[in-house]
Amino acid sequence: GAGVSQTPSNKVTEKGKYVELRCDPISGHTALYWYRQSLGQGPEFLIYFQGTGAADDSGLPNDRFFAVRPEGSVSTLKIQRTERGDSAVYLCASSRGTANTGELFFGEGSRLTVL
Amino acid sequence: GENVEQHPSTLSVQEGDSAVIKCTYSDSASNYFPWYKQELGKGPQLIIDIRSNVGEKKDQRIAVTLNKTAKHFSLHITETQPEDSAVYFCAASITGNQFYFGTGTSLTVIP
């Protein structure tokens, strides 16, 4: 498709389990972002990739969260030992990648519920 | 880091009236200010943006103003229509890579 694709759209898991969320950015976009959006809040920055490398991971809340983008395209956000507080919509966005070019193109998000 | 505050959190207007949403930011180094519209179950979508070297920008019924001295910027929607109903987020960025979002304004346009 032409837009940012995220899978799964919904994920329900139990506390303590491991979760992977996948993002397929727009073709040719070198920059990829992960955000977390809790109910009634704005998107909260987690991590930003330029190509294959994490250019800024300062938003990851703790070491249970990790993200990879091994070939500079698809990215996976990995959450270990999930906690109820991890429940949120995880948004992925991509952009052309040049600083200050502006527009982020968001996917529809992966809604994670930790029981 | 940057802190972006947005108000009001909810806004209801009659169809045809204007809507104004305001944001303030804390870091004077921020130089790029986009506005995103988020419909239910969708990801945010850029509707307009402004850079710090410009005071105002218009695109049809939508305009954004920026006051760098006061560190605030506003979204103005004129002649509102029911399809304008959504959640609107402002954001600020220094590098064009990390974006700090406001908490959102839920706009309802009453037909």
- At A80 the pLDDT is 97
Instruction: Classify burial at B11, counting beta carbons within 10 Å of its beta carbon; exposed 0-12, middle 13-18, buried 19 or more.
Output: middle
With beta carbons less than 8 A apart as the criterion, state whether A87 and A79 touch: no
User: Who has greater pLDDT, A91 or B99?
Assistant: A91
- At B107 the pLDDT is 98
Identify the residue whose tokens are 């993002």. Answer: A23
- At B97 the pLDDT is 73
List pLDDT tens digits, range A73-90. 999 999 999 999 999 999
Q: Which residues contact A66 (CB under 8 A, 6 or more apart)?
A: A60, A77, A78, A79, A80
- Whether the per-residue pLDDT at B96 is higher than 90: the answer is no
List pLDDT tens digits, range B64-78. 999 999 999 999 999
Q: Which of B99, B100, B103, B106 to mutate to test the interface with A (most CBs of A within 10 A)?
A: B99
CB of A44 within 8 Å of any CB in chain B? Answer: yes
Q: Report the percent of chain A where pLDDT is more than 70.
A: 94
Report the Cα B32 to chain-centroid distance in Å.
12
- At A40 the pLDDT is 86
Pairing of strands B32-38, A10-13: unpaired
